[in-house]
Structure 1
Amino acid sequence: MRKAMWAAAAAGVVLLVAGCGSEGGTDKGGSASGGSSSAGSSATGGSGAGGSSDEKLDAAAVTKELTDAATGAGFTQDSSGEAVPAEAKECMVSWTADAEKAADPAKSYSGTVATLTSGGWSEERSSGAGGSVIKSLTKSSWKLQASNHSAGPLKLVMFVAVDSSAECAAVLAESNAKPQGS
């Protein structure tokens, strides 16, 4: 069941990146890709963390930022939530918190988002219903969906980031087209 939840969340991020998620809410800024084709360097990445929002981030830098922010806010990672296909590892990052072990998952979620925004991530949208909160953040060409569904009986807090560059959009579309078992 947990993998089905992850797949649904990841599909939501992919749809958001593809441009299907901009109905209503506060959408501040539009596309960050604007002709940039420096995604070929995503494996080497340069300095990675901390600088301006215009620098090219790679998956390792995004993973480090997410890990540092989430663990600093009181989460431990639930590695059973990791199911990014091998071919998409440079274009997608998934970080699932073990919300059952967090003292206060809502506070840790808010702390993680606050640390990310103070580190250069911009909040683009926020929505909530039935105790769940989903925030969309951007930095460089990366789109991050931070989801907190810890208010009900299922304690699920996830951070899924996708590189919206043209190169990664093609990789993700190809990965999504493959049958589930491959």
Structure 2
Amino acid sequence: MNTTPSSPSAAPAPLSLRPFRPADDAPALRRWITTRAELVTWAGPAFTWPLDDAQLTAYAAEPDRHTWTAVSPDGRPLGHISVRGTRLGRVLIAPEARGQGLGETLLTLAVARAFDELGLPSLDLGVYTHNTAAVRLYEKLGFRTEQVLKDVEEVDGVLWSALQMRLTAPDR
């Protein structure tokens, strides 16, 4: 009989990244983005409303685009993120999973992939100034504002401004 106390098993990571598969993952993205304003918040002016499978398939096939779906330990899609060149974007957590710290986990995983696997020297992103929770999270992770772009998008008659932010890879 083993009398050595057993060590507590580590809890499974709350998220992992796998490649975005439009055929499997597009329905979740469409379910999470229910208005034109949500679409613009997620992707800027790159897509047209309503979001559809053809747009998502073309997006996933863009040259130099790395797209990932964040999945729970049981394989449920809970988020999305992408990198194209040195541009991080299309960050989204499923509405039902928000407020649990998964955005930080998603970003941490993607930043690690960008710097460690893709070897990028830095990451840039754009975020609308009214998306204060996202701005706070990016700042917490070390992103710094490089530029403020005033009134770059009009949504439902309201002008939106954006921040351009950058995170430099740690010295190796």
Bucket of the pairwise TM-score, normalised by the shorter protein: under 0.3
Instruction: Write 1 or 2 for the structure with the bigger share of helix.
Output: 1
Which structure is richer in relative contact order (CA contacts within 8 A, separation 6 or more)?
1
Instruction: Write 1 or 2 for the structure with the bigger share of strand.
Output: 2
TM-score (norm 1): 0.27
TM-score (norm 2): 0.28
